[in-house]
Amino acid sequence: MIKKLLVLGAFALSLNTIAQVSHGGQPFNWSDKHVSASIQVETLPAIDLAALAAEDAVVDQYKEAPYRFGYEHETSFDVQSHGEWRNLGNGKMIWQLGIVCPEARSLNFKFEDFYLPKGAELFIWASDREEYMGSFNHLNNHESRVLTTSILQSGSAVVEVIADANVANQVSFTITQVVHGYRPVLLNHFAEFDADRGPYGTSGACNNNVNCPEGAAWQTEKRAVAIILDGGSAMCTGALVNNTANDGTPYFLTANHCWGGVTTSSVFIFNHEAATCSGTTGPTDQSISGCVLRAKNAGSDFCLVQLNSTPPASYNVQYSGWDASDNNNVINATGIHHPSGDIKKISFENDPLSQGTWSGAQTWNVAAWDNGITEPGSSGSPLFNQDHRIIGQLYGGGSACSGSVENGLGDSYGRFGISWNTGTTSATRLKDWLDPGNTGQLIIDGYPTGASTAALDAGASSISNVPASVCGSSVSPVVSMMNMGSTTLTSAVIQYSVNGGSTQTYNWTGSLSQYASTTINLPSVNLVNGANTITVTIVNPNNSTDENTANNSISVSCNAVVGPAANLGIAITLDNYPEETSWDLQLNGVVVASSNGTYASAGVGANINETLCIASGCYDFTIYDDFGDGICCSYGTGSYTVTNTDGSVLASGGSFTDQETTNVCVTVGVEEWTSQLSMYPNPAQNEVQLIGLPAKAFIQIIDISGKVVRTETTYSSNVRLGLDALSNGYYTVRVMVDNGVKNMPLIVKK
């Protein structure tokens, strides 16, 4: 289980890691649940929560101000005079230092004079052994000699270095800042906070998660946007921007007024968004530490930095296209941002923008948002025009939520076209950095995915009405089609097949405007017994060629039981940590059904009831606990029961370690063949013969402990089974066919 304490203690592990670009590996002896009592510990002073709350109540009202979630302790814990080096006796040395912030909800750190030689790795792990950051190694060295970290969900942590003995004396750093998190950092750790709080803050109820349906057209652009953390504050928002070389240089655009808080040691967190429209939290593990200032100018309130590291491919980032023409022809606009430090949101202005000024800067003015707003923490976020290109970054304004609706006020964004070439030097304009080849281009699309919209683009977005487990030989899929092109769709051909077989076609006609969706009920398709894959492809939009084939095809898998089927019931009462519990059902080592991950979204002590349609046979049911302490009885009274069609209990329990497996046999009914089946000799010495088998049968020999010691598939009515490998004792011979199973006792006596 995940057990939270604010002391260094003995706890079990979870391999959850969050950090900047890290390089794998684990802290020393990570599988050990215990923490050495010999680790030196530095305890920082308690903080005045009442005073901080009073300050936050004032500052949180201003859009230009960041969302503060932590108090910044200035420290000077260096590797030379704090902590302790120990020899591990295997050519390795280890250094550890414990840091405790009483009653802190989270910790994050700043290292200065940071240098790790090759052969050295740094980890930071929560003292409850729940999570860790790292490893960091020589690849994290930077000319600034600064490393800043993301968030660790604990009030006490251990900083650890493991180094080859011959380079340990070259390790250098001083921990100069420890941030004591006092406002929520991860919602699921702090259930006492309101449900609308995101990991770094809370935003108004009229905001839209970027993955709501209205954000469907902006799934490419959202990947450029990141939240900026510095010390104990979620400072601002910004976005990666492309350059005319299309080379992925990590230039990042935010606001000039943000630079007072954003520093060269800030942390940039990408893809911090809820997966669903109603979600309230998202990942925080895709981050980059540090940046270099390239240009800024108050005349259009822009700031361009270059990230210290290029986001790795696993982040799947986008470099936004932009329009520096400054033409006053913006007919609608979209903003993507992190209001009040919250998960990623999206806002829409459906009317033309005007040009003007805000606090001395030349701006694009949004008169009033039509859907969504901005808040403190949104500053620096990109404003996109109707062509999905950046035209500015947020400076300020009066928009806010009034309950669950917009307050009718607007915002002002520094104009990209003014930022482009109004400054007199490379340090005061964008042109020198974003047009390195001096091509003269004023409008470019994104990289690696272009921002321009195809005219004809019919996309297959989902397949529904296909259960993961199907009782029967057919199913009627429903496909959802979205018009991603600028031209209204009036016709398309839907091609579909099962398991790569013959392709069927369905002709659709209708009227579908850009970004609108429709569902299409396809005719029934025939399934085979076992695994099936249904593939749907949309072609010939408007009797022409689709200009973007990347989104044309989609597939869904299901397991079908064709013929007699049994219902297997699975009932689970979860313990206090549902995010650790999962299960699967296997047949001959192949997973035929599962929980599809843990029950993280279920409540503490929730009751789970599943009914599976499966063929007769014997399966292995396994229940798992990620923490290794079962679901009963130290942290809740969880239990599980597996039942047959008639309600008889096949497996049950709750007290185990990391997993428990039980062989369960389900039957639909044993037909006449069982009365014709015979086995002799019995007792047997070297072999046993089965007579009267059906056309196909699966045979197991199971020892007294329940272990399967032999398996065989036969297509003959008579079969001989050799017993030379078996010891004397009692066994069960299990014969399984499509419509039943029979168990027969066998004695081996040599």
pTM of the full predicted structure? 0.51
Give the model's pLDDT for residue 666.
79
Secondary structure of residue 158 in the 3-state scheme: strand
State the pLDDT confidence band at 739, using cuts at 50, 70 and 90.
low
CB–CB of 565/471 below 8 Å?
Answer: yes
Cis peptide before 250 (omega within 30 of 0): no
> Which one of the listed residues 128, 230, 285, 301 is annotated catalytic?
301
Pick 58 or 689 by higher pLDDT. 689
Q: How close are the terminal C-alpha atoms of the chain, in Å?
A: 49
> Considering all CA atoms of the chain, what is the largest pairwise distance in Å, rounded to the nearest integer?
100
In 3D, which of 365, 363, 354 has the Cα closest to residue 418? 363
In 3D, which of 303, 595, 247 has the Cα closest to residue 428? 303
Quickly tell me which residue has 């550890």 as its tokens.
96
Tokens of 581: 């519990």
pLDDT digits (tens, 9 = 90+) for 257-313: 988 767 777 889 999 998 888 887 788 778 888 899 999 999 999 999 999 889 988
- What is the rounded distance in angstroms from the CA atom of residue 705 to the CA atom of residue 364? 76
CA dihedral 13, 14, 15, 17 (to 10 degrees): -110
Buried b (16+ CB within 10 A) or exposed e, 182-192: bbbbbbebeee
Rg (CA), the chain: 31
Average pLDDT estimate for 114-129: 91
Secondary structure of residue 52 in the 3-state scheme: helix
Tokens of 248: 């992925």
- What is the rounded distance in angstroms from the CA atom of residue 646 to the CA atom of residue 589? 26
Tokens of 370: 């039509």
Pick 643 or 195 by higher pLDDT. 643
Question: What secondary structure does DSSP assign to 514-543, as a single string?
Answer: TT-EEEEEPPPEE--SEEEEEEEEEE-GGG
In 3D, which of 598, 367, 561, 593 has the Cα closest to residue 472? 561
CB–CB of 139/201 below 8 Å?
Answer: no
In 3D, which of 561, 563, 559, 618 has the Cα closest to residue 586? 618
Q: What is the DSSP letter of 66?
A: -
Give the model's pLDDT for residue 98.
95
Secondary structure of residue 49 in the 3-state scheme: helix
Of the listed ranges 588-597, 666-675, 725-734, the one predicted with least confidence: 666-675
User: Percent of the chain, pLDDT > 70?
Assistant: 90
Strands (DSSP E) contained in 326-457 are 333-337, 345-349, 354-358, 361-366, 382-384, 390-397, 401-402, 405-406, 411-415, 443-444
Average pLDDT estimate for 105-116: 92
Average pLDDT estimate for 3-24: 36
Q: Could you give the residue ranges of the DSSP H alpha helices within 250-385?
A: none
CB–CB of 415/401 below 8 Å?
Answer: no
- Is 544 noted as a catalytic residue in this protein? no
Average pLDDT estimate for 426-430: 95
In 3D, which of 591, 584, 574 has the Cα closest to residue 630? 574
Give the model's pLDDT for residue 198.
41
In 3D, which of 328, 289, 326 has the Cα closest to residue 309? 289
- What is the rounded distance in angstroms from the CA atom of residue 325 to the CA atom of residue 340? 31
State the pLDDT confidence band at 672, using cuts at 50, 70 and 90.
low
- What is the rounded distance in angstroms from the CA atom of residue 151 to the CA atom of residue 524? 50
CB–CB of 302/253 below 8 Å?
Answer: yes
CA separation, residue 133 to residues 18, 159, 199 (Å): 5, 10, 17
User: Counting Cβ atoms within 10 Å, is residue 57 exposed (0-12), middle (13-18) or buried (19+)?
Assistant: exposed
- What is the rounded distance in angstroms from the CA atom of residue 444 to the CA atom of residue 9? 55
| Domains annotated on the chain, with CATH | 16-183 (no CATH), 205-444 (2.40.10.10), 458-558 (2.60.40.10), 566-666 (2.60.40), 673-748 (2.60.40.3080)
- Is 379 noted as a catalytic residue in this protein? yes
- What is the rounded distance in angstroms from the CA atom of residue 282 to the CA atom of residue 284? 7
> Which one of the listed residues 106, 379, 381, 419 is annotated catalytic?
379
List Cβ neighbours of 707 (8 Å cut-off, separation of 6 or more).
none
pLDDT digits (tens, 9 = 90+) for 371-419: 999 988 899 999 999 989 999 999 988 898 888 889 999 999 999 999 9
Give the model's pLDDT for residue 79.
95
State the pLDDT confidence band at 106, using cuts at 50, 70 and 90.
confident
Tokens of 530: 């076992």
State the pLDDT confidence band at 671, using cuts at 50, 70 and 90.
low
List Cβ neighbours of 476 (8 Å cut-off, separation of 6 or more).
465, 521, 522, 523, 524, 525
Secondary structure of residue 543 in the 3-state scheme: helix
Q: What is the DSSP letter of 53?
A: H
- What is the rounded distance in angstroms from the CA atom of residue 22 to the CA atom of residue 136? 5
User: What's the mean per-residue pLDDT of the chain?
Assistant: 85
Give the model's pLDDT for residue 229.
85
pLDDT digits (tens, 9 = 90+) for 170-208: 999 999 999 998 876 433 333 333 333 344 457 888 999
User: Percent of the chain, pLDDT > 90?
Assistant: 48
Angle 570-571-574 from CA coordinates, rounded to 5°: 130
- What is the rounded distance in angstroms from the CA atom of residue 120 to the CA atom of residue 589? 41
- What is the rounded distance in angstroms from the CA atom of residue 481 to the CA atom of residue 184? 39
- Is 575 noted as a catalytic residue in this protein? no
CA separation, residue 531 to residues 196, 463, 564, 568 (Å): 41, 17, 16, 18
Q: Given a cut of 50, is residue 3 above it in pLDDT?
A: no
Cis peptide before 135 (omega within 30 of 0): yes
Q: Given a cut of 80, is residue 70 above it in pLDDT?
A: yes
Question: What secondary structure does DSSP assign to 670-685, as a single string?
Answer: --THHHH-EEE-SSBS
Distance of CA 269 to the CA centre of its chain: 13
Tokens of 245: 């070389």
How many CB atoms lie under 10 A from the CB of residue 643? 19
Pick 669 or 459 by higher pLDDT. 459
> Which one of the listed residues 257, 272, 337, 338 is annotated catalytic?
257
Strand partners, 491: 509
